Copies of this chain bind each other. A is one copy, B any other.
Amino acid sequence: MKSVRDLDSPAVTVDLDIMEDNIRRLQAQTDSLGIANRPHIKTHKIPALGKLQMQAGAVGITCQKLGEVEVFAEAGVADDVLLTFNILGWTKTERLMALSRRLKRLAVVFDNEVVARGLSEAAKRAGVEVPFLVECDTGFGRNGVQTPEAAFDLARLAMRLPNLRFDGIMTFPNKEPTAAFFNRALELFRGAGIEVPVVSGGGTPATLTLGDFPMLTEHRAGTYLYNDAMMVHSRAATWAQCAMRVRATVVSRPTDTRAIVDAGTKVLTSDQYYVQGFGHVTEYPQAAVSGLSEEHGTLDLSRCAERPQVGDIVHIVPNHCCVVSNMVDTVYGVRGGRIEAAWKVAARGLVT
């Protein structure tokens, strides 16, 4: 199979020229700001793409799940990994220790004492030292300690536990309150004579304002690699910078204004967040992807002068590229209509 036309639909494709340009652009930005680029591989889950990011100058990678670390360690993508999820329970901490022995640096995050104590006990049993960052909620309202003082207190508590090493603080994503939160936290650590080697921010939309956060030593972006409708709506990318497209076939034209394609939530997912509809049809930008079932996508063609027929192929930029990666076993790298790569999504579906 050489031509993209030979792909059965639905299929997930990535425009290689666009993706390579996205990799170069973010690396140039972090280089110019003098901060480390630590891309989040949950966006692609493909070791070969992690290697491209490393070759472009990334200092290491970010993973969200132990399974992702295992796959990327096995593939030899990076020896410096940050795992940005509270790791809890015997099964998971044992897996973590096996990885800690294998990688040059595997840093973890936590936002509470229960997780810190579990990690310390596992690290002590394993005889390894685990570097940690304290996760801070700087306005997103998900994980993280709520105040700079709480970050300082948790760090001090964990520094007294065996086999843990304080490596810094982190947040997701960088938001307006992040600067004040981090500056106050750094003041507390400085006042206690504690060095903070790493101050880690995250998010692709946050690359728009990266220069406003001079306290950051590293940034973790994921989506920038492919980009998607959410990034366009947040002005972090243009449609021309969106590399991932779902190739779909029009299988029905029940009415003059409605088309049904063979890509539903099983490929595009239901993710919407702040975006209207469920994707952007590149051939018919006036079409709305107005609804999805598992295997059906409904296009509202009311505003389209030209309209597709049954059998026509369309390409849809998804709302959220990271979740689309998780829906398929294979992603195709395409350049000028030719398939250059068929990547196995090696870390797909690794929920633990």
The segment out of A15-23, A48-56, A179-187, A252-260 that lies at the interface is A252-260
Residue in B64, B262, B263 whose beta carbon sits within 8 Å of that of A295 in the complex? B64
Q: Are B351 and A88 in contact (CB-based, < 8 A)?
A: no
Pairwise interchain contact B85-A251, C-beta atoms closer than 8 A: yes
Known A270-B269, A270-B271: A92·B8 in contact at CB below 8 Å: yes
Contact present for B270 and A351 (CB under 8 Å): no
Q: In the complex, how many angstroms separate the beta carbon of A143 from the nearest chain B beta carbon?
A: 5
Say how many copies of this protein the assembly contains: 2
Residue of B whose beta carbon sits closest to that of A64? B295
Evaluate contact between B271 and A265: CB separation under 8 angstroms. yes
Q: Residues of A with Cβ closer than 8 Å to B? A: 8-10, 42, 64-65, 85-86, 88-89, 91-92, 111-112, 114-115, 137, 141-146, 249, 251-255, 258, 260, 262-263, 265-267, 269-272, 291, 293-296, 298, 309-311, 322-323, 326-329, 349, 351-352
Return 26 A-B CB contacts under 8 Å, by A number.
Answer: A8-B91, A42-B294, A42-B295, A65-B295, A85-B251, A86-B251, A86-B252, A88-B251, A112-B252, A112-B253, A112-B310, A115-B252, A141-B258, A142-B298, A143-B251, A143-B252, A143-B254, A270-B270, A270-B272, A270-B323, A295-B351, A326-B327, A327-B349, A327-B351, A328-B351, A349-B349
